[in-house]
Amino acid sequence: MPNVEGLIKYVIGYNPQADVGLIRRAYEFSANAHQGQLRKSGEPFLKHPLEVSLILARMNMDIASIVAGLLHDTVEDSLTTSEDVAKEFGRDIADLVEGLTKLSKVEFMSREEKQAENFRKMIISMGKDVRVILIKLADRLHNMRTLSALSISQQKRISQETMEIYAPIANRLGIGWMKIELEDLSLRYLKPDVYTDLAKKVSLKKAESDKYIQDVIEIVKKNIKIYGFNAEVYGRTKHFYSIYQKMETQGIAFEEIYDLTGIRILTDTKVNCYATLGMIHSLWTPVPGRFKDYIGVPKSNMYQSLHTTVIGPGGHRVEFQIRTDEMHQMAEEGIAAHWKYKDKGHAETKDNQIYNWLRQMVEWQKDLSDSKQFLDSVKVDLFPDVVYVFTPKGDVKEMMRGATPVDFAYSIHTEIGNQCVGAKVNGKMVPLRYQFKSGDTVEVITNTNHVPSKDWLKFVKTPRARAKLKHVIKTEERRRSHEIGHKLIEKEFHRIGTSITAVNKLENLRHVLNEYSVKDIDELSVLVGYGKVSPRQILKKLFPESVEKEETKEKEESPKRVRVPGGVKVRGIDDILVHFSKCCNPVPGDKIIGYITRGRGISIHTPACPNIDELDYDKERLVQVDWDTTEPITYPVRISVSTIDRPGVLASVSASITSSGANISHAEISTTEDKRAILNFVVDVKDLAHLERVIQKVEQVRGVEQVRRLMGR
Ligand code: MN
């Protein structure tokens, strides 16, 4: 069994300043948390996190990653919470562990064409910290190395997932050695027969193959000396999965594969890579179409190398890879190479660089089957339109950018949305208008008695939440209107000694209901509550005689009855309280629309009035209205005249207004610094045509530059 001292020794080997105490504490913490737990193999569970951290140490990862490796299963598999980890080891490490816990709950799609989606989920889950994935890969690698302890069906499932998700991710992150090991381990469990057969054949042929390659290497070395290059030459045994792939894709038998071993040349400079290539091509004939220049055009995972295949001695094909030491390090370690000097103080901006690199890599990758769709969604800020949040159970939910806890609540269930009173994000209370960030864990707080607020419409983002909210607000308003209307009707009926119950039995009730296109008194009450119908009107239709009698009496008592302002006909309904809005001052000729206020009758606006826009959620209360110009009425309109500031200009403008038959009910004058005057008037006009005549007249006054009608407040 490995022990923590071995781990520490290894870490100090590449990072002499490492905080050894921290590693020891993490080990003890993990030992405590996993106390008594055993792996399927019967070994103490603690061995697993220790091995994972050893893998991370071999990747020369920073101390935070090593510590997180030791702790990676504590929150997932024991009673330890993320807060415990934060208290003991700080936020940075707790975030890594939390990322891993979240990642372990992500369900990946198993079909190969969904790889882009899986990779996406992976990137999302890690937040901005790619170390989460590196630790996850180390975790998976150790699990694969110890897979034999599990049942056959588990072996297959985990290997399938490794082959489809983790090996490609290792590849995209440029960690060549890990990709190879994961692929070979997966093959071993997915196709045990193929694997055993391959292993046997390779070992049989290896001696022969090795001998051949050794001869080729000798020739290359000799020539390198002659040319005076600074280069090393190695034989490179191909891994099982790549041999298997070659047999599958090219449809050939094992016996037909000659190049079980390739040759790798490491040199010092880019120029020497090309020079070495030239030398190889001058020694043997290159196979057409097999030369690849990944130095000039690096792969999406930053892999750089020259590849070529030549017809070697005896007519056998030999593959060459030529690269610099630096390129080789990148090919083996990929993104992990960036941590090399992290703890030595060279890495202030490294995190940023790595993130940019990852982003670029994602943008560059072209080898995915549905990469187009993938690229579309990751172009700018990785994911510009969406955020990914987690439910308390760890499910990932995709939300529109700008989505709030209310959107989240409605996305789960309408009732949860309606009853939402608060929310916690990452364990802390947030306002309901809080906008999610990717990686947030969201918990909605509900109260069964709660009714949604109209104000929510100002910040909800998703169409679903908006629609549900409008619906529930409308229903609630209807309920309230019914309540009010019902009371008003009952009160009115009471005055003439009847009641809703009594009226329900009346012969002509049906007739009256039909007139308002409603099916019963309840619906009629709603109309009254909305202000569309007055209780008096209903009464008048049901009991014309008694109302008439009462009205005559009223007339006698108070001859100065309030006159309903005329000038506007409301479609289908007459005798209703109408008033003109102060905000947009419509005049006959303007397009108008009526809005049923609560208890103040109908207010008349222009459709463009900003107030109407604000009320847009309640379309039901808008009514069609028309001008009725049979009554000679004037309407106030505000106009603004800008003029050159000269003596007597106010008098001239006022005169032109009155001469066109309009009365001025209010005037204001102000001067500006650039020798201009602004004259604001309220003029009473008959209609739009009249207003236009006034404006034209004013425009003709000397010194007037512009005349505008003022809308809004
Ligand atoms: Mn684990």
Report how far ligand 1's centroid is from the alpha carbon of 80 (Å).
15
Between the alpha carbon of residue 133 and those of residues 53, 121, 142, 263, 321, the distances in Å are: 14, 11, 14, 31, 28
Amino acid at the residue 680:
N
**DSSP letter string, 19-65:** -HHHHHHHHHHHHHHTTT-B-TTSSBTTHHHHHHHHHHHHTT--HHH
Count of other CB atoms within 10 angstroms of residue 525: 25
Assigned token pair, 261: 């071993």
Among 103, 104, 106, 102, which residue's Cα sits nearest to residue 114?
106
Residue 572 has a pLDDT of 43
Report how far ligand 1's centroid is from the alpha carbon of 555 (Å).
90
Provide the pairing of β-strand 261-267 with 317-324: parallel
Chain centroid offset of residue 249 CA = 39
Amino acid at the residue 385:
D
Residue 359 has a pLDDT of 52
φ/ψ of 389, rounded to 5, equals -125, 165
| 581 vs 605: CA distance, rounded Å | 6
Q: What is the mean pLDDT of each run of 10 residues along the chain (713 residues)?
A: 88 89 94 89 91 93 92 86 90 87 69 55 62 90 94 92 84 86 95 92 83 92 91 88 86 79 92 92 86 81 87 87 91 73 43 50 41 34 58 75 92 89 88 85 87 87 86 82 80 78 80 84 83 78 75 51 48 56 76 71 76 61 69 80 81 85 82 81 87 90 87 59
Among 228, 243, 137, which residue's Cα sits nearest to residue 194?
243
Report how far ligand 1's centroid is from the alpha carbon of 98 (Å).
13
Between the alpha carbon of residue 546 and those of residues 291, 363, 541, the distances in Å are: 104, 81, 10
Report how far ligand 1's centroid is from the alpha carbon of 397 (Å).
24
Report how far ligand 1's centroid is from the alpha carbon of 230 (Å).
43
Residues 518, 524, 528, 530, Cα dihedral to 10°: -50
**DSSP letter string, 96-142:** HHHHHHHHTTPPPP-SGGGHHHHHHHHHHHTTT-THHHHHHHHHHHH
- Give the bridge partners for 680, in sequence order: 640, 668
Assigned token pair, 41: 């193999």
Amino acid at the residue 159:
S
List active site positions.
Answer: 76-77
Report how far ligand 1's centroid is from the alpha carbon of 65 (Å).
14
Report how far ligand 1's centroid is from the alpha carbon of 49 (Å).
6
Residues 551, 557, 559, 562, Cα dihedral to 10°: -60
Among 234, 244, 163, 230, which residue's Cα sits nearest to residue 201?
244
Task: Give 566's contacts (C-beta < 8 A, 6+ positions apart).
Answer: 578, 628, 631, 633
Report how far ligand 1's centroid is from the alpha carbon of 142 (Å).
8
Asked if 246 contacts 257 with a C-beta cutoff of 8 angstroms, the reply is yes
| 103 vs 127: CA distance, rounded Å | 10
Count of other CB atoms within 10 angstroms of residue 706: 12
pTM, to two decimals: 0.51
Assigned token pair, 468: 């549900």
Residue 192 has a pLDDT of 94
Among 416, 502, 508, 427, which residue's Cα sits nearest to residue 465?
416
| 121 vs 426: CA distance, rounded Å | 19
Asked if 132 contacts 99 with a C-beta cutoff of 8 angstroms, the reply is yes
Report how far ligand 1's centroid is from the alpha carbon of 688 (Å).
78
Report how far ligand 1's centroid is from the alpha carbon of 91 (Å).
20
Report how far ligand 1's centroid is from the alpha carbon of 339 (Å).
22
Report how far ligand 1's centroid is from the alpha carbon of 139 (Å).
5
Count of other CB atoms within 10 angstroms of residue 230: 10
Residue 112 has a pLDDT of 47
Task: Give 51's contacts (C-beta < 8 A, 6+ positions apart).
Answer: 2, 142, 145
Give 83-99 pLDDT, tens digit per residue. 899 999 998 899 888 88
Report how far ligand 1's centroid is from the alpha carbon of 55 (Å).
12
The HSE-up count of residue 89 (CA atoms within 13 Å, CB side) is 34
Report how far ligand 1's centroid is from the alpha carbon of 78 (Å).
12
Report how far ligand 1's centroid is from the alpha carbon of 143 (Å).
7
Report how far ligand 1's centroid is from the alpha carbon of 388 (Å).
24
Report how far ligand 1's centroid is from the alpha carbon of 510 (Å).
74
| 579 vs 587: CA distance, rounded Å | 12
Report how far ligand 1's centroid is from the alpha carbon of 100 (Å).
9
**DSSP letter string, 434-488:** PPP-TT-BEEEEE-TT----GGGGGT--SHHHHHHHHHHHHHHHHHHHHHHHHHH
Report how far ligand 1's centroid is from the alpha carbon of 72 (Å).
6
